[in-house]
Structure 1
Amino acid sequence: MSPTPDNDHPLVHARRRGGLSQQMLADRIREAGHRARINVATTKKTVSCWEHGRAPDGVTQRLIAVVFDVDEEARQATPWPYWLPGPDLPELYRPWTAVGTVAVLDDVLRSGRMDRRKFIIVSGVTLTALLHDWLTANPDIAHATARGGRRVSASMVDRIEARISELQRDDDAYGGGDLITEAEAHLSLVHQLLAHSSYTSAQGARLHAQAADLARMCGWMAFDAGRHATAQRYFNAALRAARTSGDVLLCANVFAFAAVQHYSVGNPHDADTMIRTAQVAVRGQSTPVVDAMLSARQARALAKAGDARACYRALNQAVDHLAAGHRDNDPAWAYWVEQPEIDMLTGSCLLDLGRPRDAQVKFTEAHASYGDGYTRTRALYLSRMATAHYQQGDLDGACQTGMQALDLLDTLNSPRSNDHVRDLAAAMNHHGAVSVVREFRDRVAEAVSPFQR
């Protein structure tokens, strides 16, 4: 996966970490070249080109490694630009133990909700290393028992679990923008219980699972708001907590939601890698519903990557898995994995693969079957259905369906869903003279966010 300007190049991370401007970095590279008796003409413009995807030659890379104090052996073992120093994220280096998980939760909660980075901060080689650590971590650490402190009551654990279930349903209905504060507060409570209370092994496993559920929700809500760095830190914390709980299916759920973030920002191959990792891990322990969810998410990543054949194969697998039916041991969090959801994801794949007519059919079928509790999902897919109409040249259908999405968005706080409608309105810029388009664009301008008229 090659970095893109939308995600910010790793060289940007390295510069910011070292407090360097583009000009300062260029000066230091030339100085390193002078000391090594190598003539280089690096300028601020050269650095900018690198940060937009152009790779420096091998000689210059060696000088950049000198500037950032990167060991030559480490540089040669890793492709450009992933050997560059990354953001200072202590949670990436905590041990995969119960104590390490509590520390990671503390790291993420202490970081606050300030998100100065609007991009993915863990990808490529770093993501591969994270997945390797997850796969090789000892699952027996899941049931460690805390010593000392006030004893956690069974009713408290039950109460937290019940509220998590309610939060998941509330997020479906209202979007995460207004709920993330509450989810973070509950995560902080669970962290405090894990860090300072005494509990049985069984309670410890449940508390870690609750921390994973809550961190996953916080990550999803942050992603929904476009705060990608914050979202990814929560997803990483959720993965740790799920692993510590010993619940591999819960780990798969975290992977599935984190994968959505990756393919949504242009990293479909990383998303596919995450899903494949989850599929390997749950083999022999999964249920058909969980397998259907993973196959459907994999299909979305493959569609984003433009691999139509593999995408259709994954979609067929999702349908087959779901046809096997629900089981008594299905995880509670998998309640939303139903045929309408698979149809919606199928429509999205078809839209990405340039088949808007077929996508519209799937969106229409799914929308008719969706319940009232899934307001955000219905709004999101109505906006995609409107895009399918537009791509077929049906302005009336696009605007009418877009208006239906706006009716639902009036009751939501979901910036991600708003973005889809806003993008559609912007795409109609050249049809502003058409009255129905003008009416739709005016309403978007009022209800969502400004766009170029």
Structure 2
Amino acid sequence: MDVAHHRLTQARQLRGWSQRDLAEQVLVAGGREHVNVATSKKTVSRWEHGQVPDVVTQELLVKVFNLPEGEHLLAPWPLWLPAPDIPELYYPWTPRGTVEVLADSLRSGRMDRRGFVILSGVTLTTLLHDWLITEPEIVHAATGSGRRVGTAMISRIDERIADLQRADDTLGGGDLIGEAEAHLSLVTRLLSESSYTQAQGIRLYAQAADLARMAGWMRFDAGQHAAAQRYFHAALRSAHTSGDRLLGANILAFAAIQQYSVGNPHEADSMVRTAQAAVRGRSTPTVDAMLHARQARALAKTGDARRCHHALNQAVDCLNEGTSDDDPPWAYWVNRAEVDMLTGSCMLDLGDPARAQQKFAEAAAGYGPGYVRDHSLYLTRMATAQLQQKDLDRACDSAGQALSLTEHISSTRSTDHIRDFVELLAPYRTEAAARNFLDRAHTLLSV
């Protein structure tokens, strides 16, 4: 069971409580009710790993979370526990509703540091369904209280979006989040207050979608999953209002990475399939290749090797059709090296480290210096594949290269990959290659 997604984990984190804090709260509640309980941090951990507390303890938890008496009788454990509130889901799929969602995502995203996803299950399915079937409302010219939006301003925002995308590839998102949010705030304010033509409005909503997607990606890269999802949701809304289905599909593809990375591969697969359905007949081979590759990653995480290989083959077939003048600007990174890297990651998940190492090596030559974060991630995965083949020296060398790259980027995701590799090295701590790498990792990452 993925503890990060357990309703109890989310409920206590909403209160800012550790497992020990919650255990103490239950003990205090038991004392007030003259009920003898022996709840400890380990007890809470067992609950979050699937054990169901007895009825008496659930009654105490109702009091601890300040819920109405008998709340635990209205739904099975743990569904009656408090969950994150997501008011943005209830705004209408209209231009005005989109502006409200953008504004709310900026307000909550900057404060939200919770380490769990808030959209899953029924709420996620409903969101995907609404995006897929709701016809976009026409964006009309607006006459706001602010000044008229000029063509030069919109062009400048386009330039900043392109710059941010490439800077994120090179530097990681940690140091760029503030800049992305500042530009998103500007575009949201223009949509809310300024005057613009219909054509300008459509461009502004598309720009907001690009910027919200980047803000979500950067928050995800920093491990801030709730904030990331709020931005992805806002981005999807804004792309929908702009009428750009391909842009919406790209947003879902990035959001799917978050889902399969935190242990929800089936939901990631659902997101990509929704995107594929939305763009069928209006896509390009490059975009289709990206979606097939993203689906393959999700399927590998589920262990579905047959469908994963099929999706990877489809991605390669699409790439072989070549680029198109209709390819959107954001698809600049979709190429054979990227698909090879994703193929290597799939093979690693499916338990074929030799094939994974081969694909990582094939892809490495195609990666330019502008993709520092991705290079670090895949070097760490290469190291894992080599370690699984008992090639300790080469594994530590690959991980060492990845560690060197992380000195130049701000990416929690990249350093987390290295921390995971450090744990894999535990059985080899006495070996010289492992000791040397672990000494460096301790100095740079304090692991």
- CA positional deviation for 1:404: 1.7
Distance 2:15 2:29 in 1: 12
For the residues of structure 1 that align with 2:308 and 2:135, how far apart are their CA atoms? 33
Which residue number corresponds to residue 282 of structure 1? Answer: 279
* TM-score (structure 2 length as normaliser): 0.88
Compared with structure 1, are the counterparts of its residues 44 and 240 closer, same or farther at alpha carbon in structure 2 (3 Å cutoff)? Answer: farther
What is the one-letter code of the residue matched to 2:191? L
Q: Residue 239 of structure 1: SS of its match in structure 2?
A: helix
* 1:394-432: CA deviation from partner (whole Å, max 9, x where unpaired): 011101111222222221111211111222122112212
Equivalent-residue separation in structure 2 for 1:191 and 1:386 (angstroms): 43
Q: Distance in 1 between matches of 2:413 and 2:14?
A: 29
Q: Tell me if the contact between 1:27 and 1:42 (Cα under 8 Å) persists in the aligned partners.
A: no
Does residue 152 in structure 1 map to residue 149 in structure 2?
yes
What is the CA-CA distance between 1:195 and the residue it aligns to? 0.8
- The CA distance in 1 between the partners of 2:28 and 2:168, in whole Å, is 50
For the Cα contact (< 8 Å) 2:376–2:406, is it kept in 1? yes
Structure 1 residue identity aligned to 2:366 = S
Separation in 2, partners of 1:70, 1:160: 53
1:368 has 2:365 as partner: yes
Contact 2:94–2:136, Cα closer than 8 Å, also in 1: no
**Contact kept? 1:23, 1:43, Cα under 8 Å:** no
**2:256 equivalent in structure 1:** 259
Separation of aligned partners in 2, 1:83 and 1:242: 34
What are the Cα deviations for residues 125-154 of structure 1, in whole angstroms up to 9, with x where unaligned? 11111112212322134x233222211011
1:365-418 CA-to-partner distances (Å, cap 9, x unmatched) read 100111111111111111111111111000111011112222222211112111
Counterpart selection for 1:209 from 201, 206, 209: 206
User: 2:98–2:237: 8 Å Cα contact kept in structure 1?
Assistant: yes
User: Structure 1 CA distance, aligned partners of 2:16 and 2:393?
Assistant: 52
Out of 281, 290, 295, the residue aligned to residue 293 of structure 1 is 290
Query: Does structure 1 conserve the Cα–Cα contact (< 8 Å) formed by 2:272 and 2:291?
Result: yes
Letter in 2 for 1:146: A
Equivalent of residue 237 in structure 2, options 231, 235, 240:
240
Aligned residues: 436
Q: Give the superposition deviation at 1:15.
A: 6.3
Q: Partners in 2 of 1:272 and 1:80 — Cα distance?
A: 27
Q: SS where residue 369 of structure 1 aligns? A: coil
* 1:435 is aligned to 2:432: yes
Instruction: Give the CA deviation at 1:94.
Output: 1.3
Show structure 2 runs of 5+ residues with no match.
none
For 1:97-108, list aligned pairs within 5 A. 97-108=94-105
The question of 1:53 aligning with 2:53 is answered no
Task: Please say if 1:270 is aligned against 2:272.
Answer: no
CA deviations over 1:142-175 (Å, ceiling 9, x no partner): x233222211011100100111011101111111
Say if 1:171 and 1:179, in contact at 8 Å, map to a contact too.
yes
**Structure 1 unmatched runs, 5+:** 32-39
**Which residue identity is paired with 1:294?**
L
Query: d(CA) in 1 for partners of 2:68 and 2:311?
Result: 44
Counterpart in the other structure of 1:328: 325
Answering whether residue 386 of structure 2 is matched by residue 389 of structure 1, we say yes
Instruction: Write the deviation string for residues 277-322 of structure 1: whole angstroms up to 9, x where unpaired.
Output: 1111111111111111011001001111111111111111111111
**Equivalent of 1:426 in 410, 423, 427:** 423
CA–CA separation in structure 1 for the residues paired with 2:39 and 2:429 = 41
How much has 1:89 moved relative to structure 2? 2.0
Counterparts of 1:100 and 1:306, CA distance in 2: 39
Question: Aligned equivalents of 2:284 and 2:77: distance in 1?
Answer: 40
Q: Aligned partners of 1:99, 1:235: CA distance in 2, in Å?
A: 18
Which residue pairs with 2:122 in the alignment? 125
Instruction: Classify the secondary structure of the residue corresponding to 2:111.
Output: coil
Contact 1:248/1:282 (<8 A) preserved:
yes
**Alpha-carbon distance in 2 for matches of 1:65, 1:130:** 30
The 3-state SS of whatever aligns with 2:117 is coil
Q: CA deviation at 1:198?
A: 1.0
Q: Structure 2: how far apart are the matches of 1:270 and 1:220?
A: 18
User: In 2, distance between residues paired with 1:237 and 1:399?
Assistant: 41
**Deviation of the 1:116 alpha carbon:** 3.7
Q: Is the CA contact 1:82–1:124 (under 8 Å) kept in the aligned structure 2?
A: no
How has the CA–CA distance of structure 1 residues 345 and 82 changed in structure 2, closer, same or farther, with 3 Å as cutoff? farther
Residue 109 of structure 1 corresponds to 106
- Whichever residue aligns with residue 264 of structure 1, its letter is S
Q: Please, what TM-score do these two structures have when normalized by structure 1?
A: 0.87
| Structure 1 pair 88–395 and aligned structure 2 pair: CA distance change class (3 A) | same
Matches within 5 A, 1:166-245: 166-245=163-242
Give the aligned partner of residue 35 of structure 1: none
Judged with a 3 Å threshold, the aligned counterparts in structure 2 of structure 1 residues 338 and 407 are, in CA distance, closer, same or farther, namely same
Could you tell me how far 1:120 is from its partner in structure 2? Answer: 1.0
| 2:212–2:232 Cα contact (<8 Å) kept | yes
CA shift in 2, pair 1:423/1:27, >3 Å: closer
Equivalent-residue separation in structure 1 for 2:310 and 2:59 (angstroms) = 44
Give 1:303's aligned amino acid.
A
1:137–1:70 Cα change, 3 Å: farther
Counterpart pick for 2:400 among 386, 398, 403: 403
Residue 13 of structure 1: CA displacement? Answer: 4.0
Residue 9 of structure 1 pairs with residue 12 of structure 2: no
